[in-house]
Amino acid sequence: MGEEKGVRRVPYLLDFYPLQGEEHTRIHPFFTHLTEGRLTTTRCKACGEVLWQPRVVCPHCNGEEMDWIDLPQEGELHAFTSVTVGAPMGMEDDLPFVVGIVKLRGTGLKVLARIDGASYEDLSIGQAVRLKVQPLEDGRVWFRFQV
């Protein structure tokens, strides 16, 4: 296989982000909602459990019927750390960056994501953050939180 000059190909197995189309994943609505600026997940129709991450089978009752629900876009930092080495492929130029666990407002849900808008030294536990939709260069989308 030839190499094009100036184009860095990321091997599929090292690609940090999931394939997001309907042909690739049954949670494709999650990514469609993200492009609309919405953070969503699944709620089991049988037992009512709100699941994070979105799932197609309920781990509590094995139900397979799900509703999509919107989650709060605001939360607070439950924990965080700074990544200074060993970034996933494609994020090397971002070092150092912050990853954190965000407790979504009004829920018990904790979401792991990158935290933008402040350095590690400027952050504190309990700090308010809000959803940031992150478009990727190839048309996919992901989410972060920002101060």
With respect to Zn ion, which residue has the nearer C-beta, 19 or 47?
A: 47
Q: How far is the CB of 42 from Zn ion (least distance, A)?
A: 10
Q: How far is the CB of 67 from Zn ion (least distance, A)?
A: 11
With respect to Zn ion, which residue has the nearer C-beta, 20 or 42?
A: 42
| Edge-to-edge strand list for the sheet holding 66-70 | 50-51, 40-44, 66-70
Cross-strand bridge partners of residue 67? 43
3-state SS, residue 51: strand
3-state SS, residue 14: helix
From CA 9, how far away is CA 122, in angstroms rounded? 35
Q: How far is the CB of 44 from Zn ion (least distance, A)?
A: 3
With respect to Zn ion, which residue has the nearer C-beta, 55 or 140?
A: 55
Amino acid at 71: L
With respect to Zn ion, which residue has the nearer C-beta, 62 or 119?
A: 62
CA dihedral 64, 32, 134, 131 (to 10 degrees): -60
Q: How far is the CB of 117 from Zn ion (least distance, A)?
A: 36
**Residues near Zn ion (CB under 5 A):** 44, 46-47, 49, 58, 60-61, 63
Q: How far is the CB of 33 from Zn ion (least distance, A)?
A: 21
What end-to-end distance do the CA atoms of the chain give, in Å? Answer: 44
With respect to Zn ion, which residue has the nearer C-beta, 44 or 109?
A: 44
